[in-house]
Amino acid sequence: MIKIKDLYKKFGKNEVLSGLNLEIGEGGIFAVLGPNGSGKTTLIKCLLGMVIPNKGEITVLGENIKSGSNYRHKIDYLPQIANFPNNLKVKELITMIKDLRGKTSLDQDLISLFKLEPFLDKKLGNLSGGTKQKVNLVLTFMFDSPLVILDEPTSGLDPISLLRLKKLIQAEKAKGKTILITSHIMSFVEEISDEIVFLLEGKIYFKGTITELRNKTNQPDFEHAIASILTDNHV
């Protein structure tokens, strides 16, 4: 699904990704973890072509991302902070994205799933953080793409919406999609993900299942396993 070879990215003097290699197969939920500033968001933005790497090669579904923007038709992306043009209405934003990306009929189901009907005619600038995040989720999931990238999907969501989101992610996985998630909420990651990709100092420190991680670090639970990696590496 995704192949990353020897990826380097520097911002000024700060080297964020230093020779990252990663291969992600088809189907399943992959959690990208790592301490603050380890390059999670940069990695995701490289995948989307928003950040241009200094060196390295990225292929998504067999297509080199340098060869054009069409590969993004196969990616649904949920950005970390839901910032939308403030003077657009929710309905207009959804129609606009549909106009830009192509037809879909999934938006209605998603709007009712997250109970967004009362907000459709409101302007995005007047919505609360959590509601914006729900709009963000609708925009992401309304296109049935084989690769879904979620950057901090849980931020601002209330417990009931979080439950719905988890169900939605599981349903998407059942369709055979590959889902990439970053999150700082370990219980969420533990519950939902099949495999962990742990980033440290711009490289992949660990890739495997949660059980493998526990065995490797000799820790009883997932949270302590992550903590032990961090303390062992003086983060």
Partner 1 sequence: MFKILKYSFYDLMRSRWSYVYFAFYLLLGVVLLFLNNDLSKAVITLMNVIIVLVPLIGTIFGVMYYYNSKEFTELLLAQPLKRSSIFLGQYLGVAISLSMSLILGLGIPFVFYGLFMSNAIWDFSLLLITGTFLTLIFTALAFNIALSNENRIKGFGYAILLWLFLAIIYDGIFLMSLIIFEDYPLDKLSLIGTMLNPIDLSRTLILLKLDISALLGYTGAVFKQFFGTNFGLIVSFSALTLWVLLPVLRITMKAKKKDF
Q: Which residues bind partner 1 (CB under 8 A)?
A: 11, 45, 48-52, 68-73, 75, 77, 79, 83-85, 87-88, 96-97, 99-101
d(CA 176, CA 28): 7
Provide φ and ψ at 56, rounded to 5°.
115, 170
Q: State the residue for tokens 């440290």.
A: 200
Q: Specify the residue, 99 or 232, whose C-beta has the smaller distance to partner 1.
A: 99
Shortest Cβ distance from residue 159 to partner 1 (Å)?
27
Shortest Cβ distance from residue 211 to partner 1 (Å)?
34
Cα diameter, the chain = 53
Q: Specify the residue, 149 or 213, whose C-beta has the smaller distance to partner 1.
A: 149
Shortest Cβ distance from residue 215 to partner 1 (Å)?
37
Position 131, amino acid: T
d(CA 111, CA 166): 16
Q: Specify the residue, 61 or 235, whose C-beta has the smaller distance to partner 1.
A: 61
d(CA 145, CA 42): 22
Q: Supply the angle between the helices 129-141 and 106-113 in degrees, to the nearest 10.
A: 150
Q: Specify the residue, 143 or 206, whose C-beta has the smaller distance to partner 1.
A: 143
Q: Specify the residue, 41 or 161, whose C-beta has the smaller distance to partner 1.
A: 41
Shortest Cβ distance from residue 185 to partner 1 (Å)?
23
Q: Could you tell me which residues are beta bridge partners of residue 203?
A: 200
Contact 109, 151 (CB under 8 A): no
Q: Could you tell me which residues are beta bridge partners of residue 10?
A: 15
Shortest Cβ distance from residue 123 to partner 1 (Å)?
11
